[in-house]
Each structure stands twice: as C-alpha cells, then as structure tokens.
Structure 1
Amino acid sequence: MLGNFSFGDYFKKEAIKWAWELTTIEFGLPANRLWISIYEEDDEAFAIWHDEVGVPVDRIKRMGEDDNFWTSGITGPCGPCSEIYYDFQPEKGYSDVDLGDDTRFMEFYNLVFMQYNKRDDGSLEPLKQKNIDTGLGLERMARILQKVPNNYETDLIYPIIQKASELANVTYDTADNQSKTNLKIIGDHMRAVVYLISDGVVPSNIGRGYVVRRLIRRVVRTGRLLGIKGDGIGNIDRAFTPLIAEKVIALSNHIDEDVKGRAGRILEELKREELRFVQTLERGEKLLEEMLADALASAKEGGRIPCLAGKDAFLLYDTYGFPVEITTEVAQERGVVVDMEGFDIEMDNQRRQSQAAHNVVKLEVGEGADIMETISDTEFLGYDTLSAKAIVESLIVNGNPVLQVSEGNDVEVLLNRTPFYAESGGQIGDHGFIYISEGENSQNVVVEVKDVQKSAGSIFVHKGIIKQGILEVGREVEAAVDAELRQRAKVHHTATHLLQSALKRTIGQETSQAGSLVAFDRLRFDFNYHRPLVDAEIVKIEELINGWIGDAVLLQTKVMPLTEAKKAGAIAMFGEKYGEEVRVVEVPGVSMELCGGTHVFNTSEIRGFKIISEQGIASGVRRIEAVAGDAFIEYVNTRDSHMKRLCTMLKVKAEDVTTRVDNLLEELRMARNEISNLREKTAVFKASSIANKAFLVGTSKEIRVLVEYMDDTDADSLKSAAEFLIDNLQDPAAIVLGSCPGEGKVSLVAAFTPSVVDLGVQAGKFIGSIAKLCGGGGGGRPNFAQAGGRKPENLLDALENARSELTRILSEKAS
C-alpha cells in the first residue's frame, strides 16, 4: 500500500489535487477512464473535484456512509472519504453506472478526510486539527499500467506463478480456471511466506508462526493438487517450495536486500516444513478419505447431505496436525460439508482445558466509576532510584475500588509514581515494600509487594498484602524496591542480551528471539532454530558471554527515534509495538537492542554465566535456561557440594568420578545379568518339578495340559519356564503359568504346541481373556503369548478359570 499523510499541514483541496496530478500526469492514466466517489453530504469535495480539478458531473458519484465515510471505531476521529476508480470498459457509457461492478471498475486510490470526532451519542464535532490519510494500491496500479487482467499477472507475482507452472508442467495461459486459481494461491502465499520468514517469523503452532505454517501447508496441498510431487523435477523425496522461493528472493533484490541475505535460512525453513507436512498429509489424507467415505455412505443410507462430524475434523487437526482449512477444501471437493460448529466446540473445549493464566490486570469495577478514566499513567522512576515518595491514587480489593484496606488483606495499590518495575519485555515485576513510618506513637503501615503488573496503558498495579496497619487512598507513602532482587533481575536481563548476541555469532545471524523470561533465579530464552545445539556450540556460547563479562564493558542506554535506532542496527522484537521514541540498551561491540528493562551498568556485575538446559519446546523453537550473577554462584556452589559428596561416597578424586561411575555401572550390569540368569535357572528348575502335574484332555487326541502358579518368578523367568516346559512335554501340549513378580503386579504366559494351534486354539487370545480377570491384558503369537495385570489377589481364581476353560475347549476340539 502506498500513501501520503498530513497532520494539520494540508487538507482536502491539496490532497485531491495532488492525487489527480499523480494519477493523470505522473502515472499517465487517461482522465476519461477515471471515476470519482464521494460521501453523499460532502459538497466541499464535490466542488473541488468538479470546479477545480475539472471532473465531469456525471463521473462523480455520491455514495452513502457504508461506502464513503471512514471511522476508527464507535467513537473517535472520523470523516468522509473520496475514491478514484479505473474504468476498464468505457465503451459501456455513462448511464446506469454502478461503481460496485468489479468486472468494469476497480478502486485504486482512497482519500480519507479525518475532520470530525465522533462522540458517544453519535454526534460529530469538528476536529481542531484536520488530517489526511490516503491509500494507493501498489498492485492495482501495476495492473492498470501493465494492462493485465488481474493483480496476479503483474510483474510482482506472475514470475512466481510461472515458476510454479513450470514445476506443475502446465501452461498458465491455457490452463483451466481451477488450475489458474491454484497457481495464483501458490504465487500469493509464497511471496508472503518468504517475507515473513525473512522477518523472523518461523512456522509453529502458535500465533503468527501458525499463520506461516498454514500458508506453507496450503501451498504444499495446492501443489499436490496440481500434480507437483517432490521437487517437481523428478526428485520425489525433496521439496518444491524452496525452488519457488528462489524466484521470490530474486524479485526482492532491488526492494529489500535483507531478503537475499537471509535466503539460506528461508529455503531451509521451507524445505523442513514442507517435508514434515508431506508426512502429515499422507497420514491425514488416508484417514480423511476413510472419514469422507463413511460420511458419504451414511448420507446415502439416510438421504441426508453428506457431513463430516466436527469431532472428526478436530481429530485430524489435533492429533495429525491437519489444518481444518485443508480438511474443508478436500471435503468440498468430495461434496461433503464440514460441521464447523462442532469443530469450534471441540476447539473451545481444548482451549478451556489448556488456557494458562495471563498477566493482564483487569481493573473492572462494579457500580463505581471506571478507574481507568480517573487515573493517569504511572510515572516510572526505577531507572534512577530504588525508593521514592508517592501518593496512593487507588486501592483495589477483589476487583473493586475501596478507600482503605486493613492488615491481613490482599490489595492492589495504584501510585502516581513508582520505582517498581512492572512486568514487561520478559522481565518479571519488582518485589519490595510500600510503607508509612510516622514514629513510635503513630500507626505505621507496611505493604509487602510481591508482583507489579501493567494494566491497559501504563498504569502500574502493585500487588501485595497489608502486613501492618491500615492503608488509605490519598496517603503519601514510601515505595522501596528490594535492591537484591532487582540486581538479580538486572543481571539476568543483561545476560539475556549477551546470550542473543552469542547465539547469533555461534549458529547464525538469522536466528531470532521467540520469547524470554527474566527472573530473579534464572533466565529463559526462546529462539528460532531447527535442531538441538551440540555441546561444542553451548561451550562456545558460554565462552563468549563469560569473555564479555570479564571485559568489564560499560553499558550505554539512550532514547532515540525508532527510525534512527533501526538504522543504527538495534534489534527489535518482531511483533512488538514501539512508539516514535525508543529506549536503546547497548553493550558496545557486543549487542544493541530496543529494551525498556533494567540492566547492569557494567558487564562485570554479571560475574558469571552458565547454561543449565537446552531443549525444544515447539516445532522450530528451542529454549535455553541459564543462570548468572548470584544465581550462577549458587548453582556452581551447589554443583561443587554435590561433587564433593560424590567424591566422599566413591572414595575418589573429582577427576576420577566419571571413571568410577562407569566402572560401577558395568559391575551393576554384570550383576543384573547374573541375577537374571540365576532367576531363569531357578524358574527352569521349578518348571521341571511341576511338569509331572500335567493332565490329559481329549479322547481322539490326548493333550497334555499344565496350568500352575509359580511363586517368586518375574516375567522373563516365567517365559523361560514356559519355553522349557513346551520343549520337554510331548506335542500336543498346552501350558499356562502365572506369578506375582512384585507388589500389585501379575505375570501370565501361555504356550501351545503346533497341534493345539491347529485345533483353532490361540495362545494370544486365550491369555488375553484370562488377564482381564486380573485387571490387565496382553497377547502375542498363536503359539506363545504373555500378559500382565494389576490385581494379584485374583490370580489364583484366574488360573483356576484358565484350567477349566482350557479343559473344556480342548475336550470339545479333541473329542
């Protein structure tokens, strides 16, 4: 979108004349093809267009509020607008013209005249300073100038479509309408995805990352509909999206050089996401086809419209990662509707179950006045001081404003100014005290602050408990931050900046922050990366950071215009909203970031840094947890204490601990093997002593049956006993053994010779039915199977049942 803006410098007359000049002179569009729409009551705009610009009356259309009056909301700045349309079919003349006919007309320029303020009652009052906000569609202008039938065939997108056509082995100009639509989808989505990944948004299952994932997956799905398999040039196990992305990157060279510089990362992310989704597609498509077939069959039997149940669509989404948009598309192709209402119900149920508590403080009041309209933003003093005098502007208990709060009650305190840092930018809120001390004979007041949050705007909410006295609105108090905890937070926040810089230097500049937590006891940093870090990378990161700590670098903090900060190379968190002026925290020669948090003055204050864990938390997102400062010292001391204890227990020096542990583990393994062998030998010995308990069943064929309980025998030993017995009893034979290897455990095994199996009696099915009596289950091959249970008190009865059932079944089979 192109545009020009004015905040009181010029207004309607200049905006209209300049728009006409740009359109007809600079772009050279013929005036007789341009039509104008204005708000029906905007006589001023009509006069400018007709009397001063010279547009004929019959090409100026007055339109209603829905079309030509712009508002920012229910209340606030608003005003009429005027639009310029291009006429693709002027031969149709001037009579009965409808600018809404998009086969003939296309709006490409919109001029918004913000001249009113809309009140709560709907009335309009003139603004003292009138503003201009215009929008000119870049792709629409390109379509007009390049004389192509739609935006997709401009030189902004068409080369991407041509690349997709090449991979699909189709010619765009002669393709059917559906194929053209599919090619347009690929062209449009691939351009968006390349720029999003370039800006640091990687595929994930949450937030903007899920938008990228959905776009890529639709491209892959659409490519498959066009017949693109693999990379489209014969390699079935490769990806095609990187080949199309290369065309997007090439088109971006003269627009955004950063895209070319990040090409490697863009192509790698696309390749990984596509290949992962192809596996998902293959699993999901198979299941979806079965579901659609069932839906079609059920509808045919009942004479209903085929419908895919919402819970089935949600199963595909939740279990198989199959986007509901693709489910809907595939279903529509088969003539099946998707129960989206049912899907939404399932989704809402899941959200309710997994919804985490958030930190937005809701200052909702009952019958009182809205607190937000009576309190100004809190003045933050915490960069320069840890204590300050302030006035209590409001007290809130259970969401309602009160005039005073007594000892023992939880309270939210709103001050006019504060040294307390409110949680934001990943850094948790300060702890400390708000108090009134008026001498021995006066009532002192103490509030212990355990959290500080920001409400809408910048009102700081101090959450705590009244430890002493009664706090009243309007009183002057002393607000004091816990200096030790603030220092811990400062250390971890600066260490977080060093960590991001070290990560970029170790694994590549393309990695970017995906989230963070700066706490008193640790820091947590989430970043975009496709694989776990190896030990050598973690060591390098730690060495870089501890080196910067040892260099004792003085930090520099300054406030500057956002544009200047970005030009200087300051890192901004993608998706964050910044004002025109921003705070920049720089560790010279190391890092520069936009940041409103608290930091150390010198890197030497950090003292030391250690990564304590690194793990994946989502697709393409890794998480590092680390400690610094006092938390680092505590971590090292704790580890040292553990090591000393190990040395004492193992009677070795620290450098010999791992060798000693390896030796002990090997000894333990050998001992366990020896115990296992002894148990199996014992079980075989026990088995030989019970073999003579086998009894004969059947008349035409005598079958030896043995069903026995073996005490103190684990599952493996029970298996060995059954194998011994089946080898030593003559065919035909059927054996069932049971034991209780531990508290609350049951082990069962069944072994049948080939002749018994030939009679149609299978060990797997039989032992499974017996195991149910013991609160368990199991199965296996027809000739040999194992099972388990959780009710040892039922085992003897279960074995008796097995004996009776086996006797009955084999008697019938062998009679």
Structure 2
Amino acid sequence: MYKIRDVEFSIEFMREHGYKRIKCKSCGSYFWGFEEENCGEAPCKLYTFINNPPTRRRYSLREMRNTFLKFFEKRGHEIINPYPVVARWRDDLLVTIASIADFQPYVTSGISEPPANPLVISQPCLRFEDIDKVGFTSGRHLTIFEMGGAHVFNKKLENKFIYWKNETIAYHHEFATRELGIPEDLITYKEHFWVGGGNAGPDVEGIIGGLEVSTLVFMMYKINPDGSLSETPIWTVDTGYGIERWTWLSSGSPAAFEVIYPDVYKWILKVGDIDIPNYVLKDITIGISSLHEFTWDTIKPVIDEVAVKHGYDHVSLESEYSMYVDLMKSLDFSKSILFLIKDGGIPSNVKEGYLTRMLIRKLFNIFEKRSLEYSVIEDLFYNQYNQWVSDYPEIKDIYNVLFDIIKFEYKKYLEIIKKVPQIVRSYIKKGWRDVDTLIEIYDSYGIPPEYVKREASKHGIKVGIPKNFTELVSMRHLKQSVAVEEFREPLEDKIKSMKLYTEKLYYINPYWSEANARVIYKDKNYVILDRTIFYPGEGGQKYDTGYIISPDNRSYHVKKVEAIGDVILHYLDEDSDLRVGDTVRLKIDWDRRYQLMKHHTATHILLSAIRKILGGHIWQAGVEKEVDQARLDVTHHRLPTLDEIKMIEYEANKVISKCIDVSIYTMERGVAEKRFGPKIYQGGVVPGKYIRIVEIPGWDVEACGGTHVKNTCEIQFIKILNVEKIHDGVIRFTYAAGDSAVKHVWDYYEAVERARKSLSVSLESMPEKVSELVNNLEELGDKISKLIREVQKYRVYKLINEFEKCGPYNVLILRDDIDNLIILGEELDKVSKEYILVGYNKVGRGYNMIIRVGDNYMKKGVSAKDIMDYFIKYLIKGGGRGEDKYARFGGVGDVNKRSIEEVLIKYAEEHRTE
C-alpha cells in the first residue's frame, strides 16, 4: 500500500561506502549493495554462513547481547533494563512485540519524554504470526526473541535531531564490520516500508550471508483512520537488531537453537535420541533457506535430496528430522511459557493467559505425540530455568510456581482429551463448518486439531488442518486485544467541546472535607465547578458523596461524581436553583471518604504482600474499593492455602504497624519508568506525560490516581474475608481495613458466639463438637441415601412397564424431587438399555429438569445434551450442562407432561436413528 521513495536512502553513508541502489532480479525489491544481482536475503540467496561464520570470532548469546549494548553505550546511548513480555502498560497490545513497544504511544507521539535519549535496550519479545514455522527454519523463526533496540527520539517540530538515517546505518555498519569483523562486501541493505502500532516509516533491513539480522526503521508517520499518512512530531529511530540471529551468524551453526540454548539443546537431543550429523543438518538448513513456504510438505523434498547426497535412507532421515523439528519447537515454546509466567501471564482462556495455555498445550501435544513422559516436560522447564535465571534473576521468584502451573495444566489437558469424542459429536450435530469449527473447538477447549481430525474421521467427516492453524488462532486473539476508537457518548462530546477545567483539590489535600467553589456550568442533573474536593469514581475507588450548599444555604445532595477529561461532574438528587457564577460550599461525607482512602492504601499494601508470599508473577488483574469492603484480583493459578493467606495477612499488617509515611508525588513518565520499572502499572494503562506515583517506601510503588492516607498506621489493620478463584488464572481477595475490618471481625465473633451457645459448649470445644455433629449427619445421610436408593430400586421395577412411545423411543416422564430422579436413573440403567428419562420439578417460578439416556440409544447417536438443547430452545428459557448420557438444566416455562412429549416428538422427527 505504501511505497518507498527512490531517493529515500540516497544518503552520505551509501555514497561514501560505494553502495548502489539495485533492483533484485529474484524478488523485485530494491536494495543497496555493490555489484550483486540479488538482495542477498534468502531465498534470493542461500545461506553462506553455515560452517562459515563471517565474524571475527564466535559469540554466545550473552556475549552478543552485552557486545551490542556496550557498543551503543560507548556511543552515548544509555542502557535501559528490559520491560516485561506482557505489555500491561499498553491498552492495544497483549504482549511486547518489539523494543519500540516499550515507548509507544506516549514517547513516540511526543506526549512524554523517554527514560533516556538516545537509549539502547535488549528487549525479550513475543510474536505468534510465524508460530507454525518454528523449528522448520532452524531458528530463523521464533515465538520469543531478543530485539536489540537502539532508539532515538528526534523532535521534528523543534528541529532538534540527535541523529537520523545516515548515523543509524553508519552505526549498524560499524557494529558489523569493526566490532564483529564482518567484511563490508557481505552486507546489503534492503529497502522496505515498515508499518506497526499505528505508526509507519521507511526502513532498511541488514542482510548478511543470506540472513536478515537487523531492521532499521525511521518512524516518521502516523497512520490516519482513512489509511493516509501524516508526519509525527517525533521522528523515531527504531532499530531492531535480532540478537539471536547475530549470534547464530557468528557461530556458523546449522541451527540457531544450538547457540540460543547450548546446554538444553544437547540435553534434548539425547532425550529424543537424535543423531543427525552436523554436515547433514547443514545441508538441510541451507536447502530450506531456498524455500518460500515452511511446512512439512515443502521441506520433505529437501530432506530427501540430502538423504540421497549422503547415502541415508530417506524415510529414516525424514522420521528423525521430524522428531528434531518437534524438539526444537519445544525449546522455543518452553522459553516463551517461562517468560509469560514470569511476567504474570498465568494460563487461562482470556488475554495473555490464552497465549500461555495455547503454548503449554502445544508442548504437551508434542511430547505425547513423541511418547515422552511427563517427567521429561518437568526436566525441560528445569533446564530452561537454569539456562535463563542468570540473565533474568527475577525468574527465581517463580521457581515453585512454574512447576505447580505445569502440573496443574497437564492434569487439565488429560481431562479435556478424554472428552474429545463427546465434544466432536456435539459439534457434528450442530453442523460442521470445517476450519471455523476446528478453531472454535480449539478456542473453547484447547483440543489439538489432530485429535479433532482423528475423531471426526470416525463419523465420516474429513477435516483439513491448515498449515498455519496456530497462527490463525493466535492472531485472532491478538486482534481482539487491539483497541478500536472508542464510541463517544453525546455527553462526553458536549463536555469536551466546552473546554472547561476543574481543579482537583482532593489531590492537593485529600483530608479536606469542606471547601468553597464556583459554579462554571449547570445542567438539570449535574453541575460543574471550578474546583472540587469530590473524588470521581476512578481506579476502582468509589466516588464521593456529600452536599453542595448554595449561597442561600440550601443543601443539595451529591449522589454521584464523574470525571470526563479535565472536568468533574457532580450529579444531584434534584434540579437545583444554582446559577453559573455562584460561590458554593462543598461538604463531602468524610467518614465514607476516609474509609475508602484506607481501603485504597490497604490495596497497595496487600498486593505487595501477596507478591511477596506467592511470587513475582503476581500482577493486579482487577480491583474495587467499596466502603464496607474491597476486592483485589491477582494473576495466580490456584487458590492459596490457609497458611499462605495467613502469611499474606501477617505481612500486610506488619507494614501497617510500622507506621510508614505514604509518599505521593508526580513524575515525568520516562523518569518514573526508569526509576521503578513497569511494575508501577499494576492498575493498567495510565495516560499522560506525567504520572502520579504513590509510594510506601521499602514496600510498594505504583502509578495511581486515587486518594490515600498519610501514614500506614491510619489503616489500623487488614482482615482478609474471603479468597476465591473467579476463573482460570485469576484469584480474588476480598478484605476490609480500618473500622470496616473491626466490624467484620465482630460480625464473625457474634456468629461464632451464637453457634457456641446453640451447641452449649465452650469456645475451645467447638471444633470437636462441630466435627462430631458433622460425622453424625454424614452417617444419617448415608442411611437416608441407602433407604432412598432401595425405594427407587423398587420403583424402577414398577415403572419398567410404564414406558410410553415418543416416535421410536421408550420414554419415561416423571415429576419428582430431582435428587430422587437421579438415583432412579442410575437404577434404571441396570434393567434397561433403551430409554429416555425426563424428570422435572417446580422450584420457585421455574423448573429443574434432568434427562438420562440408555446405553443402546446413545450408541445410535441419541444425546441427553442435544435433547436438553431442544427443551431450552422450544420450552423453557434457561440453561444447563450435559453430556451424551446425562443432562441437568433449568428455567422458566410451561412445563408439563404434554409439553415435554411435544418436544421429544420434535427431537425424534429431526434425529432419525437406525
């Protein structure tokens, strides 16, 4: 869509070094070289560096990273620590896809200053658009890689340039030739036009030995909604040096995996009993570099050709190389999983957690396909941990959690694989839609497509698995995360068009409970003031309530407060006689505000306590501060134990008892990130050039816009009230602080005291007495259950002769207690294999229902879940869960024997069985 200008790179550097602009005869792209006929990048040119590295010496990955960073540091660039791979500071990305993503959009748009300028960083990045190519290309494609970014942010409007195209390419050339010793005539620069993250600009790609090792982007445009380009105020040098690729180039190894994972690579080859000589791997890698597509079908002819050349049986080499490819995938996927978990990407079915679970299940599928034991998976993560913990010490925090998560996910994987037959049957009955169905099953259940294909074939359905299946799935999820332009409500448009401003007194002093202000706008439902002490509902903290007192001393109750941009709206219970220009008195409900302040500061304290006890993977996933209690959602894979909860509460209260002054100050975004790191963004994206920092020295630092107490002593104490798992990967802590915590403790005490009196025992004897009563109840329950089963067994022999026909089916329709009907169904199974039992019972305004199907009917394709779907569609409004054998559901509708029969007849007519 966008074209590069012919003269874009006709710069001094190219002229000085004798580079000419040439059109590649193979791909048609323009590049800068000497007398070459092609651009030098595979497949236009095969790899020449395998067993023939062009560098002065070989480098390890760590050496290459440090060499790159030190090279630019010596040339005035400040080294910046890498950001997490989960991009919580962005609302348009799930994961960090490039080093420049650390500084978009605020720095690149000119809103905020960078942490340094120029700067250099080696940023671990995740990309999934090439996931299905991993392993096939010997390490050219990876899901996780380090991007060496040397970044400059030039202020175009002020004509303040640090450096631009000439210096950028010159630095790259100097790094390659003088630092690494690569001959100049091996380097070509291929023109391209880069687009990403809403920005664009011309770029050149550094090509050496057939391998693209760098991309040098000159980001100077913003992409407008209509697709047109407009210049940005900041012209950004966005370079991406592929640290793994440079390392691979310097090693000349047939596989990048050997130099990225030296020790783990050797270990996993032994695990897989791989014994392919390097000279064979070399020829395969060079042969594959000639390809445009990378699938098993495309690389198989290359392997066969190499087999003939070296006298191998081609079937044996294909088999061994196929195993090799899978093991290389497992190296890449396991590192991505490790880094995702490190940065709080706990496996789940949403957001970054979906990507973690997707990778974990792909890994499990590889090991299952290759008949490798689960213990080998644990050994793989143990080896990966040891490989990376020196370079990324924060990995130490997740050692125990890592193995807990992998074990937990493996159990879930085995459970879902058992359900493949019934899941596939249910989709067949709904109507198979080929790839769409395959993706939907993968999205909903995480079932590998190979399992689905195998099961569907049993039903005569041929399933084609796209070669880029995982890429399709992952990109669908990544696209869902991209922010679209928010729809603006009429009120928001109206307020922003008025260009009003409200001074936020609650930031100047959150302890002010009264103040004067002037009315600057009045509507029927709300007023806008020039200044206010009323805090709007933001960041999970509830808004303030209180009163606005008019000049004639009339009080108007403020029921809600809302912020729109720089304006604060005060909603009143009634239309007021306030007028623009009136000076009014403000009074907030101080007790309510003070309790909310305690809860907000308590949230910061509790979050760091949870992180200390459960691990560094903990990130805030949601929060709400009410007056009575508060809740904090965090990323974690399982419910904490009682001992862990006690330790968390103990650590939080220890901080409170130390009476630490809470520091609140405003910092320029770049300075804050440099000083504290990305963990300040626990609450998500914080817009603007300046951010408000709330620090509890020695304990917690966060970017936060809420109101807080001055000293931790004011919180009094924190009481955790409940801990629950709200969905995979997220644990919710409900808690109270201050007076609310005291009230909850007394409520608990009074409840215990009432129970103690009812049992007529001392407090110390209560646990023993309760256990005794529970045991007695269980014994009584067992006796009652046995009696009920005997009754239902007798009842079955009576009902066996009372089946009615609905179409071809023997049907029994009964109204009774649902628990009784469940037992009756189990007994019915012992005497009949051909039946449909429909049970129902009225509960409140609706009905509870069950369906049970005999084994012979199931073999003919009759499914309790499918019948349930018919009842939900045609008879009741409700929902439920079911499988082929049994379904339980409920809802509101006209449920009786006749209406049930009508639904069953409809089902029978539309589901003919043999």
CA distance in 2: counterparts of 1:743 and 1:257, whole angstroms? 56
Are the aligned partners of 1:524 and 1:626 in contact in 2 as well (CA < 8 Å)?
yes
Partner of 1:229: 372
Describe the shift of the 1:126–1:633 C-alpha distance in structure 2 as closer, same or farther (beyond 3 A): closer
Structure 1 residue 85: deviation in Å? 3.2
718, 739, 742: which one pairs with 1:633?
A: 742
589, 598, 604: which one pairs with 1:497?
A: 604
Structure label with greater radius of gyration:
1
Deviation string for 1:482-506 (max 9, x for gaps)? 3222211111122223323433454
User: Are 2:272 and 1:168 aligned?
Assistant: yes
Are the aligned partners of 1:380 and 1:418 in contact in 2 as well (CA < 8 Å)?
yes
Alignment of 1:241-256 (within 5 A): 241-256=377-392
Describe the shift of the 1:543–1:778 C-alpha distance in structure 2 as closer, same or farther (beyond 3 A): same
Which amino acid counterpart does residue 206 of structure 1 have in structure 2?
V
Alignment of 1:515-554 (within 5 A): 515-554=622-661
CA distance in 1: counterparts of 2:408 and 2:617, whole angstroms? 16
Partner of 2:214: 108
Partner of 1:690: none
Are the aligned partners of 1:205 and 1:213 in contact in 2 as well (CA < 8 Å)?
yes
713, 728, 750: which one pairs with 1:604?
A: 713
Give % identity.
22
Describe the shift of the 1:475–1:288 C-alpha distance in structure 2 as closer, same or farther (beyond 3 A): same
Structure 1 residue 438: deviation in Å? 2.0
Are the aligned partners of 1:448 and 1:464 in contact in 2 as well (CA < 8 Å)?
yes
Deviation string for 1:85-118 (max 9, x for gaps)? 3253xxxxxxxxxxxxxxx563623141638998
Describe the shift of the 1:137–1:590 C-alpha distance in structure 2 as closer, same or farther (beyond 3 A): closer
Are the aligned partners of 2:346 and 2:637 in contact in 1 as well (CA < 8 Å)?
no
Are the aligned partners of 2:659 and 2:711 in contact in 1 as well (CA < 8 Å)?
yes
Describe the shift of the 1:744–1:23 C-alpha distance in structure 2 as closer, same or farther (beyond 3 A): closer
Partner of 2:181: 28
Are the aligned partners of 2:818 and 2:839 in contact in 1 as well (CA < 8 Å)?
no
CA distance in 1: counterparts of 2:832 and 2:768, whole angstroms? 46
Structure 1 stretches of 5 or more lacking a match? Answer: 38-62, 89-103, 231-237, 299-305, 348-354, 395-403, 681-713, 725-736, 783-787, 799-815
Which amino acid counterpart does residue 450 of structure 1 have in structure 2?
K
CA RMSD after TM alignment: 6.0
CA distance in 1: counterparts of 2:841 and 2:615, whole angstroms? 60
Are the aligned partners of 1:504 and 1:510 in contact in 2 as well (CA < 8 Å)?
yes
144, 163, 168: which one pairs with 1:11?
A: 163
Describe the shift of the 1:85–1:463 C-alpha distance in structure 2 as closer, same or farther (beyond 3 A): same
Which amino acid counterpart does residue 134 of structure 1 have in structure 2?
T
Describe the shift of the 1:312–1:507 C-alpha distance in structure 2 as closer, same or farther (beyond 3 A): closer
Structure 1 residue 315: deviation in Å? 4.9
Describe the shift of the 1:405–1:641 C-alpha distance in structure 2 as closer, same or farther (beyond 3 A): same
Structure 1 residue 646: deviation in Å? 4.2
Are the aligned partners of 1:738 and 1:748 in contact in 2 as well (CA < 8 Å)?
no
CA distance in 2: counterparts of 1:650 and 1:145, whole angstroms? 78
543, 551, 554: which one pairs with 1:438?
A: 551
Alignment of 1:256-335 (within 5 A): 256-260=392-396, 262-284=398-420, 308=434, 310=436, 314-315=440-441, 317-318=443-444, 320-322=445-447
Partner of 2:363: 219
Partner of 1:302: none
377, 380, 389: which one pairs with 2:504?
A: 380
Are the aligned partners of 1:740 and 1:747 in contact in 2 as well (CA < 8 Å)?
no
Partner of 1:156: 260
Which amino acid counterpart does residue 590 of structure 2 have in structure 1?
A
User: Are 2:488 and 1:363 aligned?
Assistant: yes
Alignment of 1:559-574 (within 5 A): 559-560=666-667, 571-573=679-681
Are the aligned partners of 1:491 and 1:599 in contact in 2 as well (CA < 8 Å)?
yes
Are the aligned partners of 1:363 and 1:372 in contact in 2 as well (CA < 8 Å)?
no
Are the aligned partners of 2:220 and 2:231 in contact in 1 as well (CA < 8 Å)?
no
CA distance in 1: counterparts of 2:423 and 2:780, whole angstroms? 52
Deviation string for 1:571-615 (max 9, x for gaps)? 535693467765443444544444443222223322333222122
Describe the shift of the 1:224–1:599 C-alpha distance in structure 2 as closer, same or farther (beyond 3 A): same
Q: Secondary structure at the match of 1:169?
A: coil
Describe the shift of the 1:137–1:479 C-alpha distance in structure 2 as closer, same or farther (beyond 3 A): farther
Alignment of 1:416-427 (within 5 A): 417-425=531-539, 427=540
CA distance in 2: counterparts of 1:644 and 1:489, whole angstroms? 30
CA distance in 1: counterparts of 2:546 and 2:666, whole angstroms? 29
Structure 1 residue 130: deviation in Å? 5.1
Structure 1 residue 25: deviation in Å? 1.9
Structure 1 residue 628: deviation in Å? 1.6
Partner of 1:711: none
Are the aligned partners of 2:597 and 2:707 in contact in 1 as well (CA < 8 Å)?
yes
Partner of 1:81: 202
CA distance in 2: counterparts of 1:750 and 1:279, whole angstroms? 25
615, 622, 644: which one pairs with 2:731?
A: 622
Are the aligned partners of 1:528 and 1:621 in contact in 2 as well (CA < 8 Å)?
yes
CA distance in 2: counterparts of 1:716 and 1:792, whole angstroms? 29
Q: Secondary structure at the match of 2:380?
A: helix
CA distance in 1: counterparts of 2:202 and 2:814, whole angstroms? 85
Partner of 2:523: 405
Partner of 2:298: none
Are the aligned partners of 2:635 and 2:729 in contact in 1 as well (CA < 8 Å)?
yes
Which amino acid counterpart does residue 591 of structure 2 have in structure 1?
E
Deviation string for 1:455-499 (max 9, x for gaps)? 6xx545647345231567787766554322221111112222332
CA distance in 2: counterparts of 1:614 and 1:405, whole angstroms? 44
Are the aligned partners of 1:429 and 1:452 in contact in 2 as well (CA < 8 Å)?
no
Normalised TM-score (structure 2) = 0.57
CA distance in 2: counterparts of 1:362 and 1:417, whole angstroms? 28
Describe the shift of the 1:270–1:374 C-alpha distance in structure 2 as closer, same or farther (beyond 3 A): farther
Deviation string for 1:410-454 (max 9, x for gaps)? x5x6666543444444x32322247361216xxx6836242535x
Are the aligned partners of 1:117 and 1:126 in contact in 2 as well (CA < 8 Å)?
no
Are the aligned partners of 1:449 and 1:464 in contact in 2 as well (CA < 8 Å)?
yes
Which amino acid counterpart does residue 314 of structure 1 have in structure 2?
E
CA distance in 2: counterparts of 1:279 and 1:748, whole angstroms? 25
Normalised TM-score (structure 1) = 0.63
CA distance in 1: counterparts of 2:705 and 2:437, whole angstroms? 45
Are the aligned partners of 1:445 and 1:470 in contact in 2 as well (CA < 8 Å)?
no
Partner of 1:240: 376
Are the aligned partners of 2:541 and 2:600 in contact in 1 as well (CA < 8 Å)?
no
Greater Cα offset, 547-556 or 577-586: 577-586
Describe the shift of the 1:336–1:414 C-alpha distance in structure 2 as closer, same or farther (beyond 3 A): farther
Structure 1 residue 325: deviation in Å? 10
Structure 1 residue 221: deviation in Å? 1.9
Structure 2 stretches of 5 or more lacking a match? Answer: 1-146, 155-159, 285-316, 475-479, 799-811, 843-848, 857-887, 902-914
Deviation string for 1:342-395 (max 9, x for gaps)? x9xx99xxxxxxx9xx9x9953339x967546647765332314455566677x
The count of residues paired between Structure 1 and Structure 2 equals 647
Q: Secondary structure at the match of 1:336?
A: coil
Are the aligned partners of 2:818 and 2:840 in contact in 1 as well (CA < 8 Å)?
no
Deviation string for 1:223-274 (max 9, x for gaps)? 334x1421xxxxxxx3433322334333324532222454343344334323
Are the aligned partners of 2:659 and 2:712 in contact in 1 as well (CA < 8 Å)?
yes
